[in-house]
Amino acid sequence: MTAQRFIAHSRVMRALVDQVRRFARANANVLIAGETGTGKNAVARELHTHSPRAKRPFVTIDCASLSAALIDSELFGHERGAFTDAVTARPGRFEVAGDGTVYLDAVGELPIEAQGKLLRIVDDKRIERLGGQTTFTVGARIIASAGAGIEDAVRNGSFRHDLYHRLRVLPILVPALRDHPDDVLPLARYFVRRAAAAVGQPPPTLTADVIAALRDYAWPGNIRELRHTIERAFQAAGGGAITLDHVPMEILDAPALDPDGALARRPTLDELERRYIAATLRHVRGNQTEAAKILGISRKALWEKRKRYGLD
């Protein structure tokens, strides 16, 4: 998921795109859940862009950064003199959004008292500025995002179940990158092209060893981690091909296989062998003699396997 919204080669991501386009046409509240870095913000933007509200404001409220002292002012707005620092009147974020979209980013981070205030807005569809007398109707559609543990927060009482269900009229779960590995390489190549375009250079190639390393890594930081990795590698390559020397060591040293994930996906023996050879080559930084020794095969046999698996 990127500035062009979606790169969806895998079946799971194509299904997500279809779901987002369908939900975009509705007016009901949406809750987008998923791990950090999966692209929840891009999904929210896509919902707005393809909605009948597309030409209206898209207003983001960063719930994680709201302090207790600012919550009322941010949500409701205030009139001049409503409190000590209110030297001018200021509309709240819902008022600014009008009939557009309000995006509650990281809504699970709201303190419990603020959740009650948000619930009143969701239920009543009306707000009143602090220190004011005029009531404003909330016409905006509400889209919220939350981490993958939002259901646990509801169960343990740190997030209100009534607010959760009012926001989650239309639920969207954004998959982790490890669950759609077919998108890793297309995403990586997109980030390479974008980094090169930003400095007016042709995009460099990714060597076969780098491609194998990117495919085999679990990407706990998801798409955001992949983007940062490619941007760092592009800078390190200095305009040349991106090789293993430009890939962070934490990616090269990570285990090539997650046993539980491997069993769930049921890889073939050929796939297991390709991953093991790729991991060994990364470990020895491409040294063919050392890799063949570790693998217990001749250099010629290693060359043949590399050619067979596209690792040459």
On whether both 165 and 20 belong to a single domain, the answer is yes
β-pairing, 90-91 vs 77-78, is: antiparallel
Residue 2 lies in a domain: no
User: Is there a single domain that holds both residue 130 and residue 191?
Assistant: no
pLDDT at 261 over 70: no
Reply yes or no on whether the pLDDT at 238 is more than 60. Answer: yes
Residue 114 pLDDT level (bands cut at 50, 70, 90): confident
pLDDT tens sequence across 133-155: 777 888 999 999 999 899 999 99
Q: Which amino acid is at 254?
A: A
Q: Look up the CATH number of the domain holding residue 22.
A: 3.40.50.300
Which residue segment(s) compose the domain that 165 sits in?
11-175
Residue 33 within any structural domain of the chain: yes
- Specify the CATH number for the domain of residue 218: 1.10.8.60
Which of 147, 175, 203 is the last residue in one of the domains? 175
CA angle (250, 251, 254) in 5-degree steps: 80
Q: Are residue 162 and residue 193 in the same domain, yes or no?
A: no
Residue 249 lies in a domain: yes
Q: Cα(248)–Cα(203) distance, rounded to whole angstroms?
A: 20
Domain annotation covers residue 6: no
- Do 56 and 125 lie in a common domain? yes
Last residue of a domain, one of 128, 158, 175: 175
What's the domain count of the chain?
2
What is the model's pLDDT at position 81? 54
Residue where a domain stops, chosen among 175, 204, 221:
175
Alpha helices in the chain, H assignment, sequence order: 11-24, 40-49, 71-76, 93-97, 112-124, 150-156, 161-167, 184-198, 208-216, 222-237, 249-252, 259-265, 269-283, 288-295, 299-308
| Window from 18-32, 216-230, 268-282 with minimum mean pLDDT | 268-282
Does residue 3 form part of some domain?
A: no
